[in-house]
Amino acid sequence: MPARALPQELIRAKRDGEALSPDAIRELVGGIANESLSDAQVGALAMAIYLNGMNAAETVALTEAVRDSGEVLTWRGLGQDLDLPGPVLDKHSTGGVGDLVSLVLGPWVAACGGFVPMVSGRGLGHTGGTLDKLEAIPGYDIAPSREHFRRLVRESGVAIVGQTAELAPADRRLYAIRDVTATVESLPLIVSSILGKKLACGLDALVMDVKSGSGAFMPTLEKSRELAETIAEVASRAGTPTTALLTDMSQPLAPCAGNAVEVREAIALLIGEKTGGRLLEVTRTLAAELLLAGRLAANRDAALALLDERLASGAAAERFARMVAGLGGPADLLERHERYLPRAPVVRPVCAERSGQVSRMDTRAVGLAVVALGGGRRAPQDAIDPAVGLTGIASIGEAIDGERPLAWVHARSEADAERAAARLRAAIEVNDVATGDVTPPTLIQDVIRREAP
């Protein structure tokens, strides 16, 4: 196909099942970014890709074109005051309920010598968003200037912020059109959207957390595995070594869901008030993969030992505190978080209808219970109530009785709390067999590693 073919001819070729050349893909993505392609043409292109797919070379070219549609950050050769003396590392999750990994992992990796310029997003559907959680912290600025962002990464080792207008602008427009044209569930479009933004941050290595289970974005384990393998392969072929973990989301990752309550959980882990659990296990495993990819540890045992030491010493907590203060939040958040983080006026237990053992969950429904409380968005323009949510969520295999409720609901009103309680009772199954008969699902199901060519 000629490099300067008309957009409609390139769309026609994809509609008819032909493979597009890298030049043709770059031309189309450039037209999306500069708006020389109309919304109708972008929608038609998205549908052609949705129906016919893309081969590996096309998906790599699409990812690189989205990455290159705006600014691609560089972290070296900028002058001694901003040059980073260590590897630039990041992670991304496909989303879930109670997934606050980023809040802990970013400062933890920074405390081990990595630099983490993490560009995150807001909640989508039943899943929580890292930016929404951070905005529960008074004063936290998710949109600093580029210069402030760079300097904070250099000085604190980590900055978690929102996507700027300069990073991967083609993705912003393409995603908005996919959302209203029923073309979201296309593997090449999903992969290029995730990776286009992440790789524009100038990473030396990336780790992906791809969820499976009732709270996952992908509908089946097979689809989740396909996504994990495709992301690892495409990112590596685009020049960024990538590891993808396939992890369980058949129950919330943390025993809480909501915005302020998840920030409290992150602080409790960072300062050592809480130890163990599913959240810490996944975060520790992802962080170890980043240390290995960034050559900050010689082997897995050394990576885990370094992580454990930096968490126990308070170094990871100190990096979190520096990031929060550097982005306008309270300098004493760790010491006085109960003063700063909002609390809901109504907190009440949700008791099961019978004693027994948690046998399974509809994790998506648990997340939607938080959305219904006001902790998420039904429409993009909705405001979020940072105080509401769930805490003490029982886990699969746990015994439930009059002393141990399914969870505690944090609500704005008694009526809201009662509605959330009804949703939870419908979402969490309790059987009447003895404790120990239910086997919790495997948390880390696979690790897929790919090196850059």
pLDDT digits (tens, 9 = 90+) for 197-229: 999 999 999 999 999 999 998 878 999 999 999
Percent of the chain surpassing pLDDT 90: 82
Whose tokens are 């550097």? That residue is: 326
Please give the pLDDT value at position 163: 83
Question: 434 pLDDT exceeds 70?
Answer: no
Question: 1 pLDDT exceeds 50?
Answer: no
For 226-276, how does the pLDDT look when each residue is reduced to its tens digit (9 = 90+)?
999 999 999 999 999 999 999 999 999 999 999 999 999 999 999 999 999
Question: 177 pLDDT exceeds 50?
Answer: yes
Catalytic, 211? Answer: no
C-alpha closest to that of 70 among 110, 103, 119: 119
Q: Are residues 155 and 278 in the same domain?
A: yes
Q: Are residues 156 and 300 in the same domain?
A: yes
Q: Which pLDDT band, with edges at 50, 70 and 90, does 77 fall under?
A: confident
What do you get for the CA distance between the two ends of the chain, in Å?
Answer: 27
Residue 33 belongs to domain with CATH number: 1.20.970.10
Average pLDDT over residues 325-347: 97
What does the alpha-carbon distance between residue 341 and residue 67 come to, in Å, rounded to a whole number? 36
Residue 437: inside a domain, yes or no? no
Please give the pLDDT value at position 437: 78
What tokens appear for 262 in the block? Answer: 């998840």
Q: Are residues 46 and 140 in the same domain?
A: no
Q: Are residues 310 and 390 in the same domain?
A: no
Q: Are residues 302 and 350 in the same domain?
A: no
Q: Are residues 261 and 327 in the same domain?
A: yes
Catalytic, 130? Answer: yes
Residue 415 belongs to domain with CATH number: 3.90.1170.30
Residues in CB range of 31: below 8 A, 6 or more apart: 7, 37, 41
User: Would you call 276 exposed, middle or buried from its count of C-beta atoms within 10 A (0-12, 13-18, 19+)?
Assistant: exposed
Q: Are residues 137 and 151 in the same domain?
A: yes
Q: Are residues 95 and 235 in the same domain?
A: yes
Rounded to the nearest integer, the mean pLDDT of the chain is: 93
Angstrom CA distances, 446 to 118, 281, 288, 382, stand at 24, 14, 15, 37
Angstrom CA distances, 389 to 58, 141, 227, stand at 42, 22, 30
Q: Which of 69, 130, 224, 236 is catalytic?
A: 130
Q: Which of 120, 127, 193, 363 is catalytic?
A: 193
Note whether 166 and 150 are within 8 A (CB): no
Residue 355: inside a domain, yes or no? yes
Domain holding 39, by residue range, is: 7-53
Please give the pLDDT value at position 78: 67
Residue 440: inside a domain, yes or no? no
Please give the pLDDT value at position 373: 96
Q: Are residues 114 and 151 in the same domain?
A: yes
Catalytic, 92? Answer: yes
For 6-29, how does the pLDDT look when each residue is reduced to its tens digit (9 = 90+)?
999 999 999 999 999 999 999 999
What does the alpha-carbon distance between residue 50 and residue 57 come to, in Å, rounded to a whole number? 16
What does the alpha-carbon distance between residue 316 and residue 303 come to, in Å, rounded to a whole number? 14
Residue 330 belongs to domain with CATH number: 3.40.1030.10
Catalytic, 133? Answer: no
Residue 78: inside a domain, yes or no? no
Catalytic, 193? Answer: yes
Q: Which of 14, 67, 91, 173 is catalytic?
A: 91
Note whether 231 and 197 are within 8 A (CB): no
Residue 98: inside a domain, yes or no? yes
Residue 79: inside a domain, yes or no? no
Please give the pLDDT value at position 173: 93
What does the alpha-carbon distance between residue 450 and residue 236 come to, in Å, rounded to a whole number? 6
Percent of the chain surpassing pLDDT 70: 96
Q: Are residues 264 and 329 in the same domain?
A: yes
Q: Which of 150, 197, 211, 278 is catalytic?
A: 197
What does the alpha-carbon distance between residue 357 and residue 30 come to, in Å, rounded to a whole number? 55
Q: Are residues 399 and 269 in the same domain?
A: no
What does the alpha-carbon distance between residue 255 and residue 98 come to, in Å, rounded to a whole number? 7
Please give the pLDDT value at position 2: 46
Q: Which of 154, 173, 178, 319 is catalytic?
A: 178
What does the alpha-carbon distance between residue 107 and residue 88 come to, in Å, rounded to a whole number? 13
Question: 3 pLDDT exceeds 60?
Answer: no
Q: Are residues 365 and 423 in the same domain?
A: yes
Catalytic, 198? Answer: yes
Angstrom CA distances, 220 to 192, 301, 368, stand at 21, 32, 19
Question: 140 pLDDT exceeds 60?
Answer: yes
**Tally of structural domains, the chain:** 3
What does the alpha-carbon distance between residue 103 and residue 312 come to, in Å, rounded to a whole number? 17
Note whether 296 and 114 are within 8 A (CB): yes
Phi, psi of 268 (to 5 degrees): -60, -40
Residue 65: inside a domain, yes or no? no
Note whether 173 and 41 are within 8 A (CB): no
Q: Which of 67, 92, 172, 284 is catalytic?
A: 92
C-alpha closest to that of 363 among 264, 441, 445, 268: 441
Residues in CB range of 24: below 8 A, 6 or more apart: 1, 3, 5, 10, 13
Please give the pLDDT value at position 432: 80
Catalytic, 410? Answer: no
Residue 1: inside a domain, yes or no? no
In sign, the C-alpha dihedral spanning 440, 443, 448, 449 is negative
For 83-137, how does the pLDDT look when each residue is reduced to its tens digit (9 = 90+)?
899 999 999 998 889 999 999 999 999 999 999 999 988 776 787 789 999 999 9
Strand pairing category for 428-431 and 356-361: antiparallel
CB atoms within 10 A of CB 239: 14
Q: Which pLDDT band, with edges at 50, 70 and 90, does 435 fall under?
A: low
Q: Which of 93, 102, 250, 391 is catalytic?
A: 93
Overall residue count recorded for the chain in this entry: 453
Gyration radius of the chain over CA positions: 22
Task: Among 170-174, 278-282, 378-382, name the one with the lowest average pLDDT.
Answer: 378-382
What does the alpha-carbon distance between residue 429 and residue 398 come to, in Å, rounded to a whole number? 11
Average pLDDT over residues 154-162: 95
Please give the pLDDT value at position 411: 98
